[in-house]
Amino acid sequence: MESSGHVNSQVTDTRLVEERRGQVLRAAVKLFSERGYYTTTIQQIAKEAGVSIGLIYQYFGDKDDVLFLSLKLVLESYEKEIPLRLEGIEHPVERLCMAVWAYCMIVDRLRDATVLAYRSTKSLRADRRALIKDDEIRTNRMLEGCLRACIAGGYMREVNEHMLVYQYVMFCHAWALKNWAFEKKMSVSKYVDEGIKLLVEPFLTAKGKTALASVRLGTGDFKHEKRPARRVSKARAKV
């Protein structure tokens, strides 16, 4: 018996399946976000993607398959890309800040899909809604791990980790959900910088604030990803 997360394809060429599904999913995310899931038809998706209706049914069983993979696309991006952005970063405060930074940057790239996840997850079959929730929980655990390391290292005071992590998640998603308001006032890097001031800095201990100051110097207040040699050094990590 196939799992609820499996999506049948009549095509067996893995590369071609990935390519064609990506083409259809990009069109579907755009239309689902603009028009809503229920009012968008397979015919409209095919037209937007520049393919035939028959081709879509070679790679998807039905519209629920299209929505499910659209939502999986954005959630898997968080799960795969955030750890990549944290490679080589050792200091707990820097890891937490850069995890939030990476999350926001992915949301910025996938704004429509992020909005779609809020609007349309409830439209999935119940078993698939559960899978989407599991994907979100795995990303949250990465953030919890960063937060817990800050507390364990004495860089942050004791907090309700579960609640604070969800504040980080909602903050990152809000860049897409309320982008019409935020982008008129600030860039995404400025948004991250202001978020760190609100959601990280107030909970830091004295040595945590010292570490954050070094992170800010290295990132130019979160204006770029690749930091120059000035990072939170092991010597300063012991402050």
CATH number at residue 127: 1.10.357.10
Residue range 113-157, pLDDT digits in tens: 899 888 889 999 999 999 999 999 999 999 999 999 999 999 999
23 and 51 Cβ atoms separated by less than 8 Å = yes
Residue range 8-66, pLDDT digits in tens: 889 889 899 999 999 999 999 999 988 889 999 999 999 999 999 999 999 999 999 99
| Domain assignment present for 94 | yes
Residue holding tokens 């809000």? Answer: 174
Whether 2 has a pLDDT exceeding 50, the answer reads yes
* 34 and 84 belong to one structural domain: no
Q: Is 220 left (phi over 0), alpha (psi -120 to 50) or beta?
A: left
Q: Which domain holds residue 57?
A: 7-61
Which of 61, 81, 97 is where one domain is finished?
61
Q: Which residues lie below 8 Å from residue 221, measured CB to CB, with a gap of 6+?
A: 189, 193
* 124 and 232 belong to one structural domain: yes
Interval 81-95 mean pLDDT: 94
